[in-house]
Amino acid sequence: MIHLICPNPAIDRTLLIKDFKAGVPNRPYEVKEFAGGKGFNVAYAIGFEEPNVAFCVHTIIGGRNGEFLKDLAEERKVPLKLTHIDVNTRLCNIIIDTEKLINYPIYENSFNLEESLLDQFTNKLESSISSGDYVVFSGSLMKGMPSDYISTFIHKFKNTDVKFIVDTSGEALVNAYQAKPYAIKINDEEVLDLVPNKTFDTIESYAELLDSDFTKDIPCFIITLGPKGIIAKINDGIFHIHAEKVNAKNPIASGDFFLGALVKNISIAEDSLTTLKRAISYSTANVLNWYPELHASDVEEIYNNLTVTRFK
């Protein structure tokens, strides 16, 4: 089972508008709604294609919006583990000017995560985790979560075969790194949270970091480099992989799609290079769409045209 942690969900409502203007009525020519939050985007990638694997999203919902979010998740065949609250789940609007290729994310504030609610959510999550499971923490910690929330989980299950995959930043990342999860996926800015005095001016400089004691006891460590692709240590190999340039429509959620493909392929014991190539193909294919989704033909074309350099 893959557990995706998403306590702060939203209904993500994407509106496509041609030539968005201030001070006048703007009428979208297309609107779609999705169960949103980084954990849900990861879930969409996991469920995109066969083989099917068991996964679920642990989340907190409330009110009519919460019920609607549950319906949207069911439409996309995303299983949920729910904690309920009285507050209505937030609605986030993403306005995309499809002529100027500019997006305007408008995100509502979340509910207050009080200690009793966090305890309830945490206890449900802990009781759901079994031997051999994967637990994925993606995105910043929700306000109200202590900075050692992820690292506490890692330590609690340290002597089991539960694998933790972490994609976060700041103090939460520092604490998680020190706890040595199975995998860390961060970008070229977030790595500076861990090595603030280091300068990276070449792909080789990243490879040297990944081939050092810095990644000792962390089997999978990935740094995404934007248009330059990824540099990754996975098991005993170090790879730089990048895709050919594409005409991007909407970059939102591309990192989450990478993470979903990564954890799925790790869980089915796919080989290291295929796992990384699949992940970057998903993330690149996602930017070709206005919405968080994939098309098989895009994924395969990107996969077959990737450039791979192996450092180790």
The pair of structure tokens assigned to 61 is 């919902």
Residue 171 has a pLDDT of 97
CA–CA dist 38, 263 (Å, integer): 14
Spatial CB neighbours of 154, under 8 Å, sequence gap ≥ 6 = 164, 176, 179, 180, 181
CB count within 10 Å of CB 30 equals 12
pLDDT value at residue 31: 97
Q: How many CB atoms lie within 10 A of CB 197?
A: 5
Res 78: pLDDT: 97
For residue 47, give every residue at least 6 positions away whose Cβ sits within 8 Å of its Cβ, in sequence order, or none. 55, 76, 77, 78
Give pLDDT, residue 152.
Answer: 96
287, 249 in Cβ contact below 8 A?
A: yes
Give pLDDT, residue 288. 96
Digit-by-digit pLDDT tens for the chain (312 residues) are 999 999 999 999 999 999 999 999 999 999 999 999 999 999 999 999 999 999 999 999 999 999 999 999 999 999 999 999 999 999 999 999 999 999 999 999 999 999 999 999 999 999 999 999 999 999 999 999 999 999 999 999 988 999 999 999 999 999 999 999 999 999 999 999 999 999 999 999 999 999 999 999 999 999 999 989 999 999 889 999 999 999 999 999 999 999 999 999 999 988 999 999 999 999 999 999 999 999 999 999 999 999 999 998
- What are the phi and psi torsion angles at 206 (to 5°)? -70, -40
Per-residue pLDDT, 164: 98
CB contact at 8 A, 303 and 278: yes
Here the tokens at position 230 are: 């990824």
95 DSSP β-pair partners: 15, 104
**pLDDT at res. 198:** 92
Note whether 96 and 15 are within 8 A (CB).
yes
The per-residue pLDDT for 312 is: 83
The encoded tokens of residue 235 equal 């098991």
Neighbours of 257 (CB within 10 A): 28
Non-local (6+) Cβ contacts of 282 within 8 A are 45, 48, 257, 258, 260, 261, 294, 299
Asked if the bond preceding 51 is cis, omega within 30° of 0, the reply is: yes
- Say which residues have a Cβ less than 8 Å from residue 100's Cβ, sequence separation at least 6: 19, 20
Residue 304 has which token pair? Answer: 């077959």
